[in-house]
């Protein structure tokens, strides 16, 4: 997976897929780092609950 080249590791990508984000969402996150960071922060907070 090339996500690591764009600041998204494979574990985060798998987590996002598990949480219902689709490939198009993840592709958008690869170019929009603010969106990616916000989504990851929210997903990780929800996952910890």
Residue 1: predicted pLDDT:
52
User: Tokens 């996150």 belong to which residue?
Assistant: 29
Apex CA 8: angle with CA 41 and CA 5, to 5°? Answer: 155
Q: Could you tell me the residue range of the domain that residue 8 belongs to?
A: 2-48
pTM, entire model: 0.70
**The total number of structural domains that make up the chain:** 1
- Indicate the burial class of 25 (C-beta count within 10 angstroms; 0-12, 13-18, 19 or more): middle
pLDDT tens digit sequence for 4-48:
676 788 888 888 899 899 999 988 988 898 998 999 898 878 877
Residue 45: predicted pLDDT:
86
């Amino acid at each position: 997976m090339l996500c690591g080249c764009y600041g998204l590791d494979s574990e985060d990508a798998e987590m996002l897929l598990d949480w219902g984000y689709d490939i198009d969402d993840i592709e958008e996150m690869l170019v929009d780092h603010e969106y990616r960071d916000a989504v990851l922060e929210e997903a990780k907070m929800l996952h910890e609950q």
